[in-house]
Amino acid sequence: MTGPFETEVKIPIKDVETAQRLIESGGYRVVEPRTLQSDQVYDSPDSSFRESGRLLRLRSENGGAILTYKGPVVRGLPHKSREELETSAADGATLRLILERLGFVPSFRYEKYRTTFRAAEEPGIVVLDETPIGVFLELEGPGYWIDRAAETLGFGAKDYVTASYATLYSDFLKQHGGPPDMVF
């Protein structure tokens, strides 16, 4: 990520073992070990926040909390790029109360096991996400780096997914059914 903008793509991959082999063969090493992330998305009661293309998320991870605002996606790019503002706190319960007092309501919850990799002197990160709907690589960094890293890992623009996990899960539910939230 450069500045307050996040630029990323997801790439679906067969399984964790295949992903780890590819990532390590590309010269990437673990910088943040596998951890469970539990994400609660908040919206206005009439869903207008989400409908405007914005996202408000409270992530619980390793006993702490991260509040994230994401702006609308910049259209016309091969990668997903949008404003991203984050702040962390030790007390997620207080952040939840603040969001609720501001009128936001929980709208979608999702979980994933995430491992983060980086190669020396590289401007981006490779993330391995294990989700209830499959395994994904996420490449996050400048667009030129995403394309180069994808090629190094054996992928190209045709493999890019720019949809959110909420959208991917909604598509999954249409085919397979399941609970309203994407949790283990």
Give the domain range for residue 150: 5-176
Q: What is the predicted pLDDT for the residue at 90? A: 87
Structure tokens of 112? 């994933």
pTM more than 0.75? yes
Mean pLDDT for the chain overall: 96
C-alpha 43, offset from chain centre = 17
Please report the pLDDT score of residue 2 as a whole number: 43
Phi, psi of 118 (to 5 degrees): -150, 150
Question: How many residues in total does the chain contain?
Answer: 184
Q: Is the pLDDT of residue 3 over 90?
A: no
Task: From 133, 164, 162, 159, select the one nearest 43 (Cα to Cα).
Answer: 164
> Can you give the CATH number for the domain in which 42 is found?
2.40.320.10
Domain count, the chain: 1
Q: Average pLDDT in the 36-53 region?
A: 97
Is residue 140 in a domain? yes
**181 in a structural domain:** no
Query: Is pLDDT of 166 > 80?
Result: yes
Residue 46, both tokens: 């009439």
Given a cut of 60, whether residue 130 has pLDDT beyond it is: yes
Residue 155 lies in a domain: yes
Residues 126-146 as b or e (16 or more Cβ within 10 Å = b): bbbbbbbbebbbbbbbbbebb
- Tell me if 110 is assigned to some domain: yes
